[in-house]
Amino acid sequence: MSENNAPPSHESDSVRSRPGWDAYFMDIVDLVSRRSTCLRRAVGAGLVRDKRILATGYNGAPSKLQHCLEIGCLRDQLHVPSGERHELCRGLHAEQNAIIQAALHGVSAKGSTLYCT
């Protein structure tokens, strides 16, 4: 406390900027995307309701299956162009994983917003 019993000021001469809520949650799902196990693309997603994160997910193989970082990507091995032969991919979308995580933990996604990179 300062001499006049007011808490010390931590503001600098310039006004500090804070991200809005959408930017904040997009920054978080960008970080989530770094957990991706896909060799082609890293995607993160998060379910948010009332400014609270309900669940997050990233793209990659389902739980308990080997992922592409461990065994390689079949689509890469077969030289499949981007956007083709998705049926060869073992991975789940980040959005799917976020919804699955919410369901596994008994969290309703009703009324939530999905943020996705």
Helix (H) or strand (E) holding 114: strand 113-116
Residues in a beta bridge with 49: 52
Q: Do 58 and 45 meet the contact criterion of CB atoms below 8 Å apart?
A: yes
Q: Any catalytic annotation for residue 95?
A: yes
For residues 108 and 27, give the distance between their C-alpha atoms in angstroms, rounded to a whole number.
Answer: 23
Helix (H) or strand (E) holding 22: helix 21-33
Q: Annotated catalytic residue: which of 70, 84, 87, 95?
A: 95
Place of tokens 């080997």: 66
Name the residues annotated as catalytic: 95
